[in-house]
Amino acid sequence: MEKSINYQLEIFDIPGHRYKVQIKINKPNQNGQILSMPSWIPGSYTIRDFSRNIETIYARSNGSNINIKKINDHSWKIDKSDNPVTVEYVIYAFDKSVRGSYIDDERAFFNGSSMFLRIDGQQDLNCLLQIKKINNWNIYTSLPTLEAAYINEDKQFWFYYSKCYDELIDHPIEIGNPKTSIFFSGGTMHEIILSGDSFRIDINRINQDAKKICDSQVEFFDPIDKISPFSDSSDRFIFFININSNCHGGLEHRTSSALCIGKECLPMIGEKETPEKYIELLELLSHEYFHAWLIKRIKPEIFIDYKLQESNQTSLLWVFEGFTSYYEDIFLLRTGLINRNTYANIICKKINILINSPGRKKQTLAQSSFDAWTRYYKQDENSPNSIVSYYIKGSIVALGLDSIIRKQSNERYSLDDVIKFMWYKYGCNFYKGIKRGISEDNLVEIIKKSTNINTGIFIENYIYGLVELPIQDWLMQFKIKLELIDTEKPTLHAKTSSKNNGILLETILENGIAHKSGLSSGDLLIAIDGIMVDNRNNGASMLNGYRIGDHANICVFRNNKLKFFNIHLDESEKIYEVKLI
């Protein structure tokens, strides 16, 4: 194909974790072609500088080498050439997360955003991708396969096709021999690809539960025909699940989602109960699938055309992540995968996290969204004191919006109507050529049009302001009673973890007992009143036996020096609990 960019990928050095990529550019820019690597991956909002993994790069034209020069952190420029140019580079890939690229002796997984250079100015051309087959490994991706007519019978390669660069990099690829399972939902084939240590994992149970989630979300957005929207981009939807105890998270794509989760969250063959940890996998599946509508198709304006070499700030992440976090559990409840009691306890857990984040009094939800790039994604020991999570607070505010819409409309409308309105007005034709994004300015209008409720003051108070959330009132609409319980147990107001024989004070919460007593983040607590500290459960039981009003002599190591602090344990730990009414 003349008017296309040809990418060829080869797994090049398994023990060294390297791929080799060759790009053939038929018509390079006459003034010197620029090639750029994204510096971030859509869905994970921070600069990651993927270009740093390119180790060597060459360009050739007409059989001889031509000059290629780095011109900024993410881009290279090739000397002028009137003839087609081939660029070849070796790229290191040992990122175990869902955000980058990886290869070892059992599997390869990569995102195009950290693998393929963009040909600047030609990003709207078709892309052909051929991947060299390896061992007896299989390949899994929702990237469309190239029609047989274009394949020159070369059995050494797998062939794929995309309409443009943006599409090429939004279909992650897994190669290896994972456990697999399929089901159909909304007329589309769904594949579950389970990589990592999947020994005795009950993939059939995951399959059945994932199908329930998918069916209910497809029906939510298309209640009449119950057709999934994915045929705008692929013939399938894939859940890539990598079992890895060192990471927990997911990343959404237009027709797939990549999940990484510990084995303790997966159901084992023969297990009848629903282990509490398994709910975390169901939440993740539900969350990432919902994103296929909300953020992959219904988008904030700034994400219509990503600028892949710089931060793309939006004050609306609280909508796209907060609403998604709210609905991830709503769908588990609606499908019966969790009961009301479990649902209420999940909400309660979020409320307790929010209440124990002093940063909620400093950063608004809009600021939290906008600053995700430099603050939420770059958290340190002081983050709980200085920022608020647009996931946690965003999901509680979504509950609040749902609550007031239901209350003021006498249950005629709900947040469901807002999301569905967004879908029909902004999302359903996104990959069919009609690209419209949501801006900050039209959110109140969207809610008004879809529910007839004016939420201007709500948004002003809870999104752009720091007004305390009336969570108790909101929950009453759902017949959940929130109560503040005094545990009567003393607390240091610190986030702690076990380290060596002591307890590491990771975060000292502002204005708490530890803060007021002079303890610092990084202190290693080793003894209380001369007795070696009990460091089980990350320090949860270190003050067992103490009562409110007691004094304790706390001994810590700080910068290798022993220090003592006399602490008055005059405050108790207070937590919220929920009851169904």
Name the site residues for Zn ion (rule: CB under 5 A): 321
Can you read off the two tokens belonging to residue 437?
């994004």
Smallest distance from the beta carbon of 321 to Zn ion, in angstroms? 5
Residue (89 or 376) nearer to Zn ion, CB? 376
Smallest distance from the beta carbon of 311 to Zn ion, in angstroms? 18
Cα 39 to Cα 116, 172, 250, 253, 314, distances in angstroms = 12, 17, 19, 17, 17
Smallest distance from the beta carbon of 287 to Zn ion, in angstroms? 6
Give dist(CA 402, CA 152) in Å, integer. Answer: 55
DSSP letter for 572, please: E
Smallest distance from the beta carbon of 322 to Zn ion, in angstroms? 9
> Which amino acid type is present at position 267?
P
Angle at 69 between CA 58 and CA 84, to 5 degrees: 50
Helix (H, G, I), strand (E, B) or coil at 125: coil
β-sheet bridge partners, residue 479? none
Smallest distance from the beta carbon of 549 to Zn ion, in angstroms? 44
User: Taking Cα atoms as reference points, which of 144, 39, 41, 26 lies closest to residue 86?
Assistant: 26
Rg (CA), the chain: 26
What residue number has its CB nearest to Zn ion?
321
Smallest distance from the beta carbon of 291 to Zn ion, in angstroms? 6
Smallest distance from the beta carbon of 290 to Zn ion, in angstroms? 8
Give dist(CA 581, CA 550) in Å, integer. Answer: 38
Residue (18 or 99) nearer to Zn ion, CB? 99
Residue (134 or 247) nearer to Zn ion, CB? 247
Residue (89 or 323) nearer to Zn ion, CB? 323
β-sheet bridge partners, residue 528? 531, 554
Residue (167 or 321) nearer to Zn ion, CB? 321
Residue (158 or 221) nearer to Zn ion, CB? 221
The structure tokens 């869905």 sit at 43
Residue (390 or 458) nearer to Zn ion, CB? 390
DSSP characters over 333-386: HHTTSS-HHHHHHHHHHHHHHHHT-GGGGT--HHHHHHGGGTTGGG--TTHHHH
Smallest distance from the beta carbon of 222 to Zn ion, in angstroms? 22
Residue (233 or 395) nearer to Zn ion, CB? 395
Give dist(CA 93, CA 197) in Å, integer. Answer: 20
